[in-house]
Structure 1
Amino acid sequence: MATMNFSIPDDIKDKFNQAFQGTNKSAVVADLMVEAIERKDKQQRSKAAIDRILERRKHAPTVTDEEIRAAREELRA
């Protein structure tokens, strides 16, 4: 296992120690890091998906309001 050192404000350290008193704090920090990594990966996948959608929209055929109205009327008939 690797060791990491972080500097954090004293009040955060105190609150963390109080909240997780009696637990394996290294495991808690490792779990939080895993969650942060997963959240970051999800954000990157979402951004990539949005970028792909926006790129496809650039090449999509355009339809006028009148064409949309006509299609609606045709389907209602």
Structure 2
Amino acid sequence: MSTVHFSVPDDVKEACNATFAEPNKSAVIADLMREAVQRAHARQQHISAIDRILARRAHAPNVTEVQFQAAREEGRRQTIGRSQ
């Protein structure tokens, strides 16, 4: 087990002490750190996914509004035909 030392504003320390008066504060901080790491990883995955989508989009064929609407309507007709 490692020890981590860091500084926090007094108001944050006071709020934490008031909110987590009973639980083991080390366990609370460790859980918060795990959650922060998971959020950072998820955010990076989202950014990577967006970058991949934008890269593919750069090579996608241009479609006019009329072509787009026609494809959309065709897709709807196919979906409706399958559900009946």
- TM-score for both structures, normalised by structure 2: 0.79
2:49 is equivalent to residue 49 of structure 1: yes
In structure 2, the gaps of 5 or more residues are: 78-84
**Consecutive aligned runs of 4 or more in structure 1 exceeding 2 Å deviation:** 65-73
1:19-54 Cα distance to aligned partner (Å, 9 max, x none): 101110000000000000000000000000000000
2:14 is equivalent to residue 11 of structure 1: no
Aligned partner of 2:64 in structure 1 is 64
Question: How many correspondences in the alignment?
Answer: 75
Would the alpha carbon gap of residues 66 and 34 (structure 1) be closer, same or farther in structure 2, given more than 3 Å must change? same
In structure 1, the gaps of 5 or more residues are: none
Identity of aligned residues (%): 55
RMSD over equivalenced CA pairs, Å: 1.8
